[in-house]
Amino acid sequence: MEFSILAMLVLLVVFVVSAVFLHLWRSPKAMEDIPGTLGWPIIGESFSFISDFSSPSGIYSFMKKRQERYGKVFKSFVLGRFTVFMTGREASKILLTGKDGMVSLNLFYTGQQVLGPTSLLQTTGEEHKRLRRLIAEPLSIDGLKKYFQFINALAIETLDQWEGRKVLVLEEASTFTLTVIGHMIMSLEPKGEEQEKFRSNFKIISSSFASLPFKLPGTAFHRGIQARDRMYSMLDNVISKRREGQGFQNDFLESLIIKHSKAADGEADKDKLTDKQMKDNVLTLLVAGHDTTTAALTWLMKFLGENPQVLQRLREEHMEIQAKGKGGANLSWSEVNNMPYTAKVISETLRRATILPWFSRKAAQDFEIDGYKIEKGWSVNLDVVSIHHDPEIFPQPEVFYPSRFDEPLKPFSFLGFGSGPRMCPGINLAKLEISIFIHHLACRYKWTPLERDDSVQPTLVRMPKNKYPVLVEPL
């Protein structure tokens, strides 16, 4: 998903050209009642948006300057789109619950093309509910229990290789989370040729989501489509073999294949998916189950390294688990689900880092919010960073303080996993992966950051720009 500044500027040019007619044909008069500015003709505020997007504080800089001038709701014209930005609990309630079908998800064009039209992220209404129900099955508590020991063993194996060396945490976390989700979905072995092909194709796909929207040879978008097709070819081969009775596995893909083959007319048809739907949603799960968890694990280590008192309290919790129970290689499901302070550290990480800095929606109908009329078709972005850094909700918001989650928060004030019908279906998997990994890390190692850099990558998912390099030593 990474943008270089040059690529973003080129992308801007593309959007500008395509937006010329939009700007001429559609008068912004409808937005006159909404405070803010549309910026320069045709270009809008895109240069400011791109510049702030790549700054250490990310898109928060763009939002904050305009909120101070215009309030919680303001208009802009960025990257070829008339856009309304908004923040606050009331806005998050309306946009994320999607009451009465007012809004739909608003993916980048390239993301739409790569993921495919039958992806959970592109469907709406009853079809979205049906797909979400099918996809949620392996991510349920019961579904995750059978993968617990695999995740635990993989965390130990990963950390065995860290002692006494420089580690780029982001890269290591990426390998760990991708191996987990690949095993859960299609029983990929942690190592081997198939795993390497899978990992290589996935990285290309991931980097293409916000690329130039041209399928020209050599472009990131073209490479992403090619990698997607190679991934689908791998899936076609696996699906074909399993239907022939070869290589049965008790994984997510197998459950979809069984439902597909057994589904018939009538009521059973509700669980039937075409091969295209299966592949689109396997890829969707891979994407959704990787980047955000990778970023969360990296930020968590960074914040722990910067806050020794928090790290000490977290370490005490895990040392106590190890002392009272089996811990370590024999860590149990009940133990990993009884880590109250760790759960608060995870929540505070998601609040402080705000890995998904905004949620983009498209108005599916005219509606009003905070007294302003929003027209059908407009892009409406919910600024999550400002919600997570509102001092009225989170006193001293720049301080990393997990105990602020000792008491329940007001609804729609913490959006670490989103909310409403499109709340992250992998919330339990993410918490499980992070809790297991942190248990072994805290009980075995101390780490020293090798660079002091708060810059973020100019990506859709916020990640440390330097990949958080650390020197790892045993306790």
Mean pLDDT (10-residue bins), the chain, 475 residues: 51 54 49 80 76 68 86 81 83 77 72 81 77 77 88 95 94 93 84 82 77 75 89 88 80 78 53 81 81 93 96 96 79 93 96 88 82 84 88 93 93 84 79 96 95 78 90 94
Task: Confirm if 462 and 354 have CB atoms less than 8 A apart.
Answer: yes
Q: Could you identify the residue written with the tokens 């280590």? A: 301
Model pLDDT, residue 219: 82
Residues found in the chain: 475
Residue 448: both structure tokens together: 């020293």
- CA 460 distance to own-chain centroid: 8
How far is C-alpha 350 from the geometric centre of its chain's CA atoms?
11
Topology of domain 5-116+356-388, CATH:
3.30.43
Report the alpha-carbon distance of residue 292 to residue 431 in Å, rounded. Answer: 11
Identify the pLDDT of residue 17. 53
Global confidence as pTM: 0.85
Q: How many helical (H) and strand (E) elements, i.e. helices and strands, does the chain have? A: 19, 10
State the first-to-last Cα distance of the chain, in angstroms, to the nearest integer: 36
Structure tokens at 449: 């950051």
What is the enclosing helix (H) or strand (E) of 436?
helix 427-444
What is the number of alpha carbons within 13 Å of residue 83 lying toward its C-beta? 23
* Segments of 94-237 assigned E as strands: 103-105, 166-168
Residue 471: helix, strand or coil by DSSP? strand
* Residue 320 in tokens: 């106590």
Asked if 470 and 301 count as a contact pair (C-beta separation under 8 A), the reply is yes
Query: What is residue 370's predicted lDDT score, i.e. its pLDDT?
Result: 77
Q: How many CA atoms lie within 13 A of 356 on its CB side?
A: 17
pLDDT at 417 (0 to 100): 82
**Residue 424 marked as a ligand binder:** yes
> So what's the pLDDT on residue 55?
66
What pLDDT is attached to residue 338?
Answer: 93
